[in-house]
Amino acid sequence: MLHDNPVLDETQGGVDKGDTGRLSIPLAAGLVVLMAFLIWFPIGKSEFTPIMWLWILALVGIVTANLLIPVRTKNGTFVRLLSSFGFVLFLVVFPFGRANSTITDFGIYVVFAVCVIGVNLTFGYAGQVSIAQAAFLGIGAYTSVLLDSGSEVGVFGMTFTLPNLPFLLTILIAIAVAMLFSVLVGMPALRVRGPWLAFVTLAFNVLIYLVFINEEELTGGSRGIRVLREEGFEVFGIDMVPLGNYYYLCLAFLIITILLVWYIVRSPWGRSFKAIRDNADRAASLGVDVRVYTLLAFAIGSGVAGGAGALYARLVEYIEPRSFFLGQSFDFLFASVIGGLGTLAGPLIGTSFITIIADHLRFAGDWYRVWFALLAILTMVIAPKGVAGSFNVLRNYVQARRRG
């Protein structure tokens, strides 16, 4: 008889079961190996070395603080905020006295982190896979660049003069356009449950790439567009021509995005997102409009990528369709998974895998992709919940031990 099942007869306790409070030896060993690898790897790489040390220190700091401090106490929240603040402080102080190429690398990290935070909101919180984040990055980039170019273009046999809007306004329009496209793509795909958004966004990314390549008069085709931060490029009256200044604009956008997502995730919306991710049918039976919420998560996640695109174009001063192809989308997806889905620190950690750490693998030449793939597989094997997720597991374990 079912009622005699010993497994179902556990009515007491209920604490520290399930995988959230359990620590596996491979996981602990794996994390140590991974951290050692990340620290050992940059040694001897000329200009990067001291920064990389600081970088690793900042990452280790954020996860250690997360590991040691209980979540649900007032002090805990404070220390966690402080550690995040320390991480941001590192991003703030590091450009002083650095070469432009280094600042660009970190600028790209900052801009891509915004994209990965977007993916994490759609995938990690609302449970829908988007494989078009690079397309939205591209849509934002081209929208912003075309709207403040002031040049003449011929499309469909007619000649248009493009407007010359202020840069901040083009960022907002880039966000709006990316959200609009995401709603158009998401509406049909999110009518039914299942992996359909992944398929549709996959096709959408290819489509957008072809549009970028083929609409040469507008986008410059495969030659791309040079977007220089020319004389008189100002935001709030601050000269944005020097890379050092522009980097802070990107960083400000990242911080705004983090605060926005943090607010959304802890609001009732975040609870609905998680409910849908955990069990969409149950959420619907409680009165949650699953379609509306998933669409909202997807639109916000894509919208921030649009804004990131506008910033990305002026950061690298050159955009071409290949930057926005599928490979980049998969990188964003990979970064969100490896960092830890459904965590706030995860995207910040994961993005360093596809930018700064990936750059360090380039010395391997043709072997770069192989090393990268190995690193990815290794990380997923030893830390299936991502780096931040694994530290959450560790922290729960430590807390459970303390409770006795």
- Contact set with another protein (CB under 8 A): 2-3, 5, 7-21, 72, 264, 266-272, 274-275, 277-279, 281-290, 292-293, 296, 342
- Provide, rounded to whole angstroms, the least separation between the CB of residue 98 and another protein: 39
Rank residues 282 and 362 by Cβ distance to another protein and give the closer one: 282
- Provide, rounded to whole angstroms, the least separation between the CB of residue 179 and another protein: 15
d(CA 357, CA 278): 32
- Provide, rounded to whole angstroms, the least separation between the CB of residue 113 and another protein: 24
- Provide, rounded to whole angstroms, the least separation between the CB of residue 257 and another protein: 16
Rank residues 27 and 283 by Cβ distance to another protein and give the closer one: 283
Rank residues 70 and 221 by Cβ distance to another protein and give the closer one: 70
Distances (CA, A) of 183 to 106, 123, 141, 241: 31, 16, 18, 35
d(CA 76, CA 68): 9
- Provide, rounded to whole angstroms, the least separation between the CB of residue 292 and another protein: 6
Contact 152, 159 (CB under 8 A): yes
d(CA 132, CA 326): 7
User: What stretch of H or E contains 152?
Assistant: strand 152-155
Rank residues 15 and 25 by Cβ distance to another protein and give the closer one: 15
Q: Which amino acid is residue 212, in one-letter code? A: F
- Provide, rounded to whole angstroms, the least separation between the CB of residue 387 and another protein: 18
Rank residues 112 and 125 by Cβ distance to another protein and give the closer one: 125
Rank residues 72 and 237 by Cβ distance to another protein and give the closer one: 72
d(CA 391, CA 399): 12
Of 358, 354, 334, 337, give the one whose Cα is nearest residue 346: 337
User: What stretch of H or E contains 234?
Assistant: strand 234-235
Q: What angle do CA 112, 119, 367 make, to 5 degrees?
A: 55
Of 299, 300, 302, 297, give the one whose Cα is nearest residue 283: 297
